[in-house]
Structure 1
Amino acid sequence: MNERDFADLAAGHALNALSEADERAYQEALAGNPHWSSHVRDATDAVAAISATIEPVEPPASIRASLLARITDLPQEGTAGPESNSADAGDYAAAGPAPVVSEPSAPTLTTSGWGMRRWFTLAASIVAVLVLGFGAVTVSQQLTRPASVVALEQITTAPDAQSATATMPGGAVATAHWSASTGQSVLVTEGMPTLPDDQTYELWFVRDDTPIAAGIFSTDAEGKATAVLQGEFHSGDVIAVTVEPAGGSPDGTPSSAPVVAVATA
């Protein structure tokens, strides 16, 4: 068994979709090649990510039946053709070699035992996604969402979620969202001035009068941004924003007064 074949089995194992024979082959291959365990982790993490992003919904029985019917219709390796009649065979032998007639060849699906297993693993994966809630598009959207949006959702759904808003003199609005239980904080802005290419906005935790750098961010054409503060939020922190050279403060300390400061206590 090569590593690609093992990766296929690992996917089936994570989905509880292996036959007894394939499960034994999977376990034996893993025992003999412990360095392949990364495929096991990847498959397990993928299944967990899918199951965590959508609500379970029972699919119609017709979907499962349709998928299984499609698998059944696939050509099987070693399928015997029509049995030949021995008497007919004798007649052909007596008649001599038959003329060879060329006919257009139909597309064929060449599969080994492992190839068929890949088809089964793919079908099992589709069934798993359907059972989890018809969520192919939803899963894709969930897994590709910006980290800032995911963090904001985690904060706002936490039991101790809090927020506060500050308005700048020019009318720009900045709202800080935080949760002590998750240790996360996010700043959402609207109407922030657009900066030249050689400048950027930088986030800070101000803790006991000490500024702690928490990442840089930029806004869109309308001054909007959703920015995660890097580092763990502590209750009572002031969330501040300064304008710094492109790339952030060169010495790790603010080079100008904050343009936004939101108290969290």
Structure 2
Amino acid sequence: MNERDFADLAVGHALNALSEADERAYQEALAGNPQWDHHVRGAVDTVAALSASIEPVEPPSAVRASLLARISELPQESAEPRDARTSAEEEDFAAAGIAPAAIVREPVALRSSARTGWGTKRWFALAASFAAVLVLGFGAVTVSQFFAPPAAVVALQQIEDAPDAQSASATMADGTVATAHWSPSTGQSVLVADGMPELADGTTYELWFVRGETPIAAGIFQPDADGKATAVLQGEMQVGDVIAVTIEPAGGSPDGTPSTDPVVAVATA
């Protein structure tokens, strides 16, 4: 099993949607490749985030009526009549006694050399199931949003998987730790923080590459309700840059330069 197949199984495991064979293959692959556990954490975090961020909605009463109507239209199978036996045949069976039943055991594959069945058809069925759930109660979320992780999460994963991945951290005045992740080979950099203070209305956090004495705008971001943020820096970082964050008016600094002192600055050299 390759890492991409394992990543697919990790999503199915997080959704509790694997068959027994797939679950067994997943556990064996994880035991043999513990370095793949970041796929497990990512899948679990994504499912948990979706579950926590969406309020359930009571489905309309018409949905139940429509489903029952559709069920009533399905052809119903009638019970097949029991084969008639003559009294003589029954007597013969009684005389012969009870014949031992042959036990048939299907072989179980303990290890899969290719994909373990979590393929296109399974994904299509799972997506269809989610589509039904979304129609009934989660109208604000689309299937594509569920299966497509945010760009910042994808970038962070690519950085962490790169052989030249690096990181550095700095602590904000309130104790919040911000960590910059970057990789020269991918040309990407991401800032991750947990517990950033909530901003006043009309303001936003802005990222900067500070190159020598020159600040270079690298995008804006807003933490979630818990103060967590994973933000991609726009542009390519250079060796020795400092990654800084300032508080700016909504939309970012109007003149392209910081209007406040940095709330955090992460040295990358």
- TM-score with structure 1 length normalisation? 0.50
Give the number of the structure whose alpha-carbon radius of gyration is greater. 1
- TM-score with structure 2 length normalisation? 0.49
